[in-house]
Amino acid sequence: MNIVVLAGGLSTERDVSITSGSMVAKALRQKGHNVVLLDVFMGYEQDECDVKALFENGYDFTKDSKVSENVPDLEQVRNMRRVKSDSYFGEHVEEICRFADIVFLALHGGDGENGRLQAALDLMGIKYTGSGYLASANAMNKGVTKSIFLDHKVGTPFGKCFRQKDNLDDFDIFPCVVKPCSGGSSVGVSIVEDKKDFVKAMDEAFKYETEVLVEQYIKGREFSVGVIDGKALPIIEIIPKSGFYDYVNKYQSGRTLEICPAELDEETTRRMQKEAEKAYDALGLEAYGRIDFLLDKDGALFALEANTLPGMTSASLIPQEARANGIEYPDLCEMIVDVSMKKYL
């Protein structure tokens, strides 16, 4: 197959996306596919674009990329672009994607994951991996996700959404967790103990978005469950060596202990996997996704959020969960392509 792997973009998770995309492209080439690795924002910045040759030669816009400890400077990224345009798509992106049998979305956060890109590809008649525009939009917004979970009786912490002009004085549930509504990789997330820290945390979260979700802090063990084609993978437990599962602990090697399959009794394992499948269905996800959970000391389950384009770096969770099921990384990437193609049958 001819496959475009789209990565990069203009979100705070740009670096993570590039690393995911590099690994996915390499894996799909190992499986015998013709793969172009393309930055959706930069595009292919050459006047002449021989699309067929790009696939034959395995065009790759980056080599040996790594995730920095710091969130990328997006203004610097914008200034690097050859053509100064408001378009999210870089040069020749549509042309190259049209030549492909399917586009593997290795994008994370922002317009790569919030449904806008998916809607644009739908209008162009371009096939892509993962969920469609509506499920992507719903899952991207943590406030909307929480409402859908509540409507479908998926256990989730109490929460409230705030906008920048809202009065913060009324909120008095502490400790709590403050998080941008549509962010990812825990960028701008804080655990807050009191009112003073709450105001600071809200100021920090509002640097990234105009809407922020505040929810009750649940003390417990943290888990994640990948779902492929509606069926849950083995559960992974996430144990940061210090602090919580923030941007640094997620992507810097050695910061977090990850146990897969998680050390849970059979009943709890089955219950969490079923809840993950229920959350996946409630949001209308397609092909694959990942649901994050907390399990408190009394055995209560709390679904935190859903990820429609989970990370595919060496430190990412779904590849570890798939491996526990005997599915190696290249096979996982090809499986995602195959189950995504089923949307178009």
Q: Is the dihedral of CA 199, 203, 204, 206 positive or negative?
A: positive
Backbone phi and psi for residue 95, each to the nearest 5 degrees, phi listed first: -60, -45
Given 245, 251, 288, 329, the catalytic residue? 251
Given 141, 183, 311, 329, the catalytic residue? 311
Given 290, 316, 321, 340, the catalytic residue? 290
Residues 6+ apart with CB under 8 A from 328: 322
263 is catalytic: no
Give CA–CA dist 228/289, Å, rounded. Answer: 7
Q: How far is CA 35 from CA 25, 100, 193, in A?
A: 6, 9, 48
Given 8, 9, 11, 13, the catalytic residue? 13
Residues 6+ apart with CB under 8 A from 266: none
Given 215, 222, 246, 305, the catalytic residue? 305
Give CA–CA dist 216/288, Å, rounded. Answer: 28
Given 22, 182, 185, 316, the catalytic residue? 185
251 is catalytic: yes
Round the CA-based radius of gyration of the chain to a whole number and report it: 20
DSSP annotation of 342: G
Given 111, 292, 321, 334, the catalytic residue? 292
290 is catalytic: yes
DSSP-assigned states of every residue in 263-322: S--HHHHHHHHHHHHHHHHHHT--SEEEEEEEEETT--EEEEEEESS---STT-HHHHHH
Helix, strand, coil percent values for the chain (each to nearest 5): 35, 20, 40
Given 307, 316, 321, 329, the catalytic residue? 307
For residue 122, give both structure tokens: 């739908």
Per the CB < 8 A criterion, the answer to whether 262 and 295 are in contact is no
Catalytic residues: 13, 185, 251, 290, 292, 305, 307, 311
